[in-house]
A = this chain, B = another copy of it.
């Protein structure tokens, strides 16, 4: 297990790995499970060892808006700055590929920040990367119309999954982008006509 940690988080120092090992709880989640709900109290920082997790922002009427993926080697930025306070989660995290995650008690965060240079750098880097990713999401919704937002969304899925065969239904894309299935179907058809994608049932082949 420490070998796996070291492999997935190569920047961590050996002492840090030891410390994590001494305090870790490893949990398995299967696809479809919800790791964290909006409003729930955050007690742990989450480090992803395996699988894929989609992070959403929710509104009051049940809408879900996709923000980013958590992949192996990454961590939930928000859970890292909740400090000791009784902070509630501002996001919802859903497992899409069977996942294995390390849960680190929040109480250790501050200590490790001071003790472990590699942890400090990881946290700061995580924060910066997430912030920048969220800014790009803002760009797409603030400046772009739905057709471009869809392209942006598909490109991110390709990046995140490392595959050009996306296993997604029009319905799922629609709810990730907070629009309707019909709109997505319409736009995908146009993209197919432009030669950017090939459509199959439950699968989209990206040619871009």
Contacts and interface: CB of A to CB of B under 8 A. Distances in A.
A69 B33 CA distance: 37
A139 interface: yes
A178 interface: yes
Given A113-B113, A178-B143, A135 B57 contact: yes
A55 to B, nearest CB: 11
A137 B138 contact: yes
A177 to B, nearest CB: 8
A158 interface: no
Interface residues of A, number: 34
- Chain A residues touching B, majority SS: helix
B132 A90 contact: yes
Nearest to A120: B113
Given A81-B124, A83-B124, A127-B81, A138 B141 contact: yes
A82 B57 CA distance: 26
A91 B135 contact: yes
Contact of A142 (B65, B114, B143): B65
A190 interface: no
Interface of A: 57, 59, 61, 63, 65, 67, 77-78, 81-83, 87, 90-91, 110, 113-114, 120-121, 124, 127-128, 130-132, 134-135, 137-139, 141-143, 178
Nearest 7 pairs of A and B residues by beta carbon:
A81-B128, A59-B143, A65-B142, A141-B141, A81-B124, A142-B178, A81-B127
